[in-house]
């Protein structure tokens, strides 16, 4: 019997988290702060420890399906053991029979998602986007070094911590490299249409760390321009654009992006994984070397920290059907700037990304409406890589 089968409970009707209780396993639920297809997230209070936490509760209609329950507990395990400053940390998980809920307790981040910041500013400042890129690249390097691929990097899964750190959230789709288990194979093409790379769209098992770098590149493009790089009204239309490397150059959308940075991000969006930057640690080095990074706005009083990739990790294995990596990471330059800004004062509105940033955006006339991206149905066709590592759909 699998873990999902052991934890699965009977369910009578589909729906999300219905009949939300006042507390789960001793954690007091205060208000709902997020919801997805599998779960809802609540700002909560840990009564025993006397601290704020976030509690994720599995949707009721999935509590009787072993594969989804298994995925939920797999995410819980990974969030506890994969401890890094740029990854949201798990605290506890389990099943509360008194309220019939599966739950996962996570650290509470009193700040917006990158998508929330984007919705308020239209575009994020260049320095802020580079800082986000460095932090998330360091988190991905940590995951990749331990042979995990995130598979769902996007603005909604990046949280901006009050201490000025960007954190990667939601390990629900994380996959161990070269693990073709049934739990992974059940949902081929999983991910988010606008950000996943071509190889992940056609088969979720055709991924390695370079797939996460594509998704991060699409995310940084969106944060800088207010537009997704591959727009489209259907899943197939978006994937077709990716197969042809068809996207507008960043500087044609936002001329304020330096050429060097635009080139880095555009290289991450190549259909062929071999044409991208090969490792997350290398990406962090390249972004640091631009000297464009600035601090993230601090949303609550406290010391602002910088995340640095530590020792270079060994070469991460890549999918054999994608070809070998073409470059090796080097050490981060010892003189690379990692700014540690002074402590900032508390703000009354933690969900607003810095009053100064807002005023500057208004004065510069950059308050633009964020591009609305609909939720597209995910469809995939299973394909195999060719012997030279190039996916057959990528057009050269």
Task: Tell whether 368 is covered by a domain.
Answer: no
| DSSP one-letter string for 186-219 | TSTT-S-TTTS-HHHHH-TTS--HHHHHHHHHHH
In sequence order, what are the beta bridge partners of 104? Answer: 56, 93
Task: Tell whether 379 is covered by a domain.
Answer: no
Q: Would you state the pLDDT for residue 298?
A: 64
Task: Tell whether 370 is covered by a domain.
Answer: no
- 91 and 118 together in one domain: no
Report residue 331's pLDDT band, with 50, 70 and 90 as the boundaries.
very low
pLDDT higher than 80, residue 180:
no
- C-alpha distances (whole Å) from 90 to each of 3, 67, 103, 131, 224 are 19, 21, 11, 24, 30
Q: Would you state the pLDDT for residue 375?
A: 40
Average pLDDT score over residue span 43-71: 94
Contacts of 281 (CB under 8 A, 6+ apart): 137, 138, 141, 309, 312, 313, 329
Question: Does residue 212 contact residue 87 with C-beta atoms inside 8 Å?
Answer: no
- 70 and 193 together in one domain: no
Return d(Cα 151, Cα 157) in angstroms, integer. Answer: 11
- 33 and 175 together in one domain: no
Return d(Cα 15, Cα 59) in angstroms, integer. Answer: 7
Report residue 20's pLDDT band, with 50, 70 and 90 as the boundaries.
confident
Task: Tell whether 388 is covered by a domain.
Answer: no
- 76 and 161 together in one domain: no
Return d(Cα 111, Cα 352) in angstroms, integer. Answer: 9
Task: Tell whether 385 is covered by a domain.
Answer: no
- 209 and 274 together in one domain: yes
- 164 and 48 together in one domain: no
Average pLDDT score over residue span 138-159: 96
- C-alpha distances (whole Å) from 146 to each of 17, 36, 76, 176, 202 are 33, 27, 17, 8, 25
DSSP for residue 302: B
- 101 and 182 together in one domain: no
pLDDT higher than 70, residue 238:
yes
Task: Tell whether 393 is covered by a domain.
Answer: no
Where is average pLDDT lowest: 175-184, 192-201, 224-233, 294-303? 294-303
Tokens 């071999």 map to which residue? Answer: 274
Task: Tell whether 392 is covered by a domain.
Answer: no
Structural domain for 56, as ranges: 3-107
Q: Would you state the pLDDT for residue 17?
A: 62
| DSSP one-letter string for 214-245 | HHHHHHHHHHHHSS-SS--SSHHHHHHHHHTT
Q: Would you state the pLDDT for residue 395?
A: 66
Whose CA is closest to 320, among 191, 152, 208? Answer: 208
| Coil, helix or strand at residue 392 | coil
- 99 and 45 together in one domain: yes
Domain harbouring 139, CATH code: 1.10.510.10
- Rounded mean pLDDT of the chain? 77
Structure tokens at 124: 């994020």
- 284 and 167 together in one domain: yes
In sequence order, what are the beta bridge partners of 166? Answer: 160
Task: Considering the candidates 135, 152, 212, 272, report the single residue annotated as catalytic.
Answer: 152
Return d(Cα 208, Cα 151) in angstroms, integer. Answer: 9
Structure tokens at 181: 């288990």
Please confirm, yes or no, whether 156 is among the known catalytic residues. no
- 175 and 306 together in one domain: yes
Task: Tell whether 166 is covered by a domain.
Answer: yes
- 158 and 75 together in one domain: no
| Coil, helix or strand at residue 35 | strand
- C-alpha distances (whole Å) from 214 to each of 105, 112, 300 are 29, 23, 32
Domain harbouring 44, CATH code: 3.30.200.20
Q: Which residue has the higher pLDDT, 8 or 190?
A: 190
pTM of the model as a whole: 0.74
- 30 and 83 together in one domain: yes
Domain count, the chain: 2
Taking only the tens place, the pLDDT of each residue in 83-131 is: 999 999 999 999 999 999 999 999 999 999 999 999 999 999 999 999 9
Q: Which residue has the higher pLDDT, 376 or 199?
A: 199
pLDDT higher than 70, residue 79:
yes
Taking only the tens place, the pLDDT of each residue in 243-296 is: 998 899 999 999 999 999 999 999 999 999 999 999 999 999 999 999 999 988
pLDDT higher than 70, residue 69:
yes
């Amino acid at each position: 019997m699998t873990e999902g089968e052991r934890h699965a409970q009977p369910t009578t009707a589909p729906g999300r988290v219905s009949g939300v209780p006042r507390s789960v396993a001793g954690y007091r639920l205060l208000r709902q702060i997020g919801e997805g297809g599998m779960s809802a997230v609540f700002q909560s209070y840990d009564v025993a420890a006397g601290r704020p936490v976030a509690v994720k509760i599995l949707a009721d209609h999935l509590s009787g399906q072993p594969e989804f329950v298994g995925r939920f507990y797999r995410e819980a395990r990974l969030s506890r053991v994969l401890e890094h400053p740029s990854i949201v940390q798990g605290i506890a998980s389990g099943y509360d029979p008194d309220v019939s809920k599966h739950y996962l307790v996570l650290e509470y981040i009193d700040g917006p998602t990158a998508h929330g910041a984007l919705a308020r500013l239209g575009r994020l400042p260049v320095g802020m986007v580079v800082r986000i890129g460095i932090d998330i690249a360091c988190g991905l390097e940590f995951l990749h070094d331990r042979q995990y691929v995130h598979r769902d990097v996007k603005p909604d899964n990046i949280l901006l911590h009050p201490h000025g750190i960007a954190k990667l959230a939601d390990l629900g789709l994380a996959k161990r490299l070269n693990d073709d288990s049934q739990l992974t194979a059940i949902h081929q093409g999983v991910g988010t249409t606008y950000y996943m790379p071509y190889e992940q769209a056609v088969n979720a098992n055709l991924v390695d760390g370079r797939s996460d770098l594509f998704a991060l590149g699409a995310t940084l493009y969106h944060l800088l321009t207010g537009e997704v790089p591959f727009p489209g009204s259907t899943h197939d239309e978006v994937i077709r654009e990716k197969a042809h490397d068809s996207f507008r150059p960043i500087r044609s959308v936002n001329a304020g992006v330096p050429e060097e940075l635009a080139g880095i991000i555009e290289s991450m969006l190549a259909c062929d994984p071999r044409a991208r930057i090969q490792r997350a640690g290398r990406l962090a080095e390249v972004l640091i070397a631009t000297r464009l990074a600035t601090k993230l706005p601090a949303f609550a009083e406290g010391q602002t920290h910088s995340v640095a990739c530590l020792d270079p990790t060994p070469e991460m294995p890549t999918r054999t059907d994608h070809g070998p990596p073409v470059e090796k990471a080097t050490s981060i330059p010892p003189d690379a700037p990692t700014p540690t800004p002074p402590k900032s004062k508390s703000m009354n509105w933690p969900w607003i990304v810095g009053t100064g940033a807002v005023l500057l955006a208004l004065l510069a006339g950059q308050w633009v409406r964020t591009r609305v991206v609909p939720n597209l149905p995910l469809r995939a066709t299973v394909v195999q890589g060719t012997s030279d590592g190039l996916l057959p759909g990528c057009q050269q």
